[in-house]
Chains A and B, each alone.
Chain A
């Protein structure tokens, strides 16, 4: 995308979000934890989300705010998937791949105790051995898989 925020601004602001969650809630910033809270409460028919649920909803609000100010989404297409597949058959393929990948991301993150934010940012910043292992594993896996996809398409 154009007009990308400089990495040396984006990174420290994300880091300060981790600090803010600790300062405000003694909490562990993690988006999967937020999704998990939403699923758990909605499953009980409750809207009484804790801060993590509201944090996840806030991210949706942040995306909306960004799109409103910018006058449109900051995303054209959906990466290699929309570059590779077209037509109605292609749309079906994209949907199937995204659904399966999404399940892997959600189930995997819960199993590992966090995703890119919970383990990658929060856990790594605490030098938590479990998070360092998880972060190294998911980065290495994603890199290998991305190169595998690149080799095929």
Chain B
């Protein structure tokens, strides 16, 4: 229950910022990818920098997660082939439709009609992956 409320609250903040920053507008993303507008890059870089400093400070001052009581761990992964192939496919879709999963969710909330189709596609893609990896029949998969 606490996890649901806390997760939803972070989501609301995330969704408002996605919307207010224009990231939910495919035209804005397209201008960024065509280097006509630097907004996305400034926002992205400042987000990564803030998070990078934030999680490191957090790991020093806090032992366990507030809601789950899990120990705070900052783990990293080594690149595998799938990180490249998956990103190629993802990037191609992003480059054509100019929306990614966060903005799709924000568009759904804003009532953008076309986002229903994009969302069906994203959900179908996720479902297809889960089905192929057997995650739908067995216990919950991580990630």
Tell whether A pairs with B: yes
Whether the Cβ atoms of B114 and A10 lie closer than 8 Å is no
The total number of A-B Cβ pairs within 8 Å is: 502
- Interface extent on A, as a size class? 35 or more
B55 touches A58 (CB 8 A): no
Give the total of B residues in contact with A, Cβ under 8 Å: 114
Q: Is the interface of B mostly helix, strand, loop or mixed?
A: helix
Q: Could you give, for residues 1-19 of chain B, a 1 whenever the CB lies within 8 Å of some chain A CB and a 0 otherwise?
A: 0011111111111111111
B86/A26 in contact, CB under 8 A: no
Contact B70 A25 (CB under 8 A): yes
0/1 string, B60-99, CB within 8 A of A gives 1: 0010111110111111111110111111111111111111
Q: Does A60 lie within 8 Å of B105, measured CB to CB? A: yes
B101 near A106 (CB under 8 angstroms)?
yes
Q: A62 to B126, Cβ gap below 8 A?
A: no
**Most central of B82, B97, B114 by chain A CB within 10 Å:** B97
B residues with CB within 8 A of A: 3-30, 33-35, 39-40, 42-52, 54-55, 58, 62, 64-68, 70-80, 82-102, 104-112, 114, 117-130, 135-136, 140-141, 143
List 23 interface pairs A-B (beta carbons < 8 Å), by A numbering: A10-B20, A10-B23, A11-B44, A11-B49, A17-B13, A17-B17, A40-B141, A58-B8, A60-B108, A62-B14, A67-B111, A78-B114, A99-B120, A104-B89, A104-B90, A106-B101, A108-B93, A110-B86, A112-B83, A117-B100, A126-B55, A131-B76, A140-B91
